[in-house]
Amino acid sequence: MITFTAYMIAEFHDYLRSRVELRDTDLMRISSHAVQMDLRRNQFLFSEGDVCRHKAFIVSGILRTFATRADGSEHILQFSQERTWAIDAESYDNQIPSRYNIAAVEQSQLLLWSKVDFDQLLSEIPALKSFAERLISRAIYNGRDRLLSALSASPEEKYNDFVRDYPSLIQRLPLRMIAAYLGISMKTLTRIRRAQISALK
């Protein structure tokens, strides 16, 4: 019978094999440095003021990266779902206190690598380093597109883009989190959704 940890490692290996050519020995070396972490719904991976000390791969679940305003409301920067990574790159790279929080939206299972271990893997496995650099580039491109949308798109366009880009998340996320990610009010989001439902009738 396969253990849950073994299942997580198998999922991670399948993810890597689908994206980068690595030897089985390299796959085992990478996963041998991983530590399993389970998060309950709303449990924090780390909080504002903490140092981001790990690179996290999501095997199952959803994490959100967010900042908290003085009134307690959230600015959500990013959702990270299965087969993606969660990290505050600035805090992780420079080992300085983070300005953000990362917490589970739903029960989530993660694999974590410390910075020391992952940096060593990058230096010793060129294919992994190249893959990591591609992920960084993609994150930069996505961040640029998100900024342009925040500056120029209408609320309707923002919501439609979210539905197009994250169709699997619509039913899994609370509406208040979608609104916080889009930077619109709950009232506006409710109006948009009602108008779209009415248009389908």
Q: State pLDDT tens for residues 38-85.
A: 999 999 999 999 999 999 999 999 999 999 988 888 999 999 999 999
- Show the tokens assigned to 109: 């299972």
Could you tell me the CA-to-CA distances from 130 to 21, 37, 117, 119, 149 in Å, in that order?
Answer: 11, 26, 17, 13, 29
Q: Which CATH class is domain 4-146?
A: mainly beta
- Show the tokens assigned to 181: 């990610």
- Show the tokens assigned to 60: 């199952």
Please report, rounded to a whole number, the percentage of residues in the chain having pLDDT higher than 90. Answer: 85
Rounded CA gap, 46 and 103, in Å? 7
Contacts of 124 (CB under 8 A, 6+ apart): 29
Q: Is the pLDDT of residue 1 over 50?
A: no
pLDDT, tens digit (0-9, with 9 covering 90-100), for 20-48: 999 999 999 999 999 999 999 999 999 99
> Domain coordinates of the chain in residue numbers?
4-146, 153-201
Rounded CA gap, 70 and 102, in Å? 18
**DSSP percent split of the chain into helix, strand, coil, nearest 5:** 50, 20, 30
Ranges of beta strands (E only) in the chain are 35-39, 44-46, 54-60, 63-68, 74-80, 85-86, 101-104, 108-114
- Show the tokens assigned to 58: 């999501």
Q: Is the pLDDT of residue 2 over 60?
A: no
pTM here?
0.91
- Show the tokens assigned to 59: 């095997």
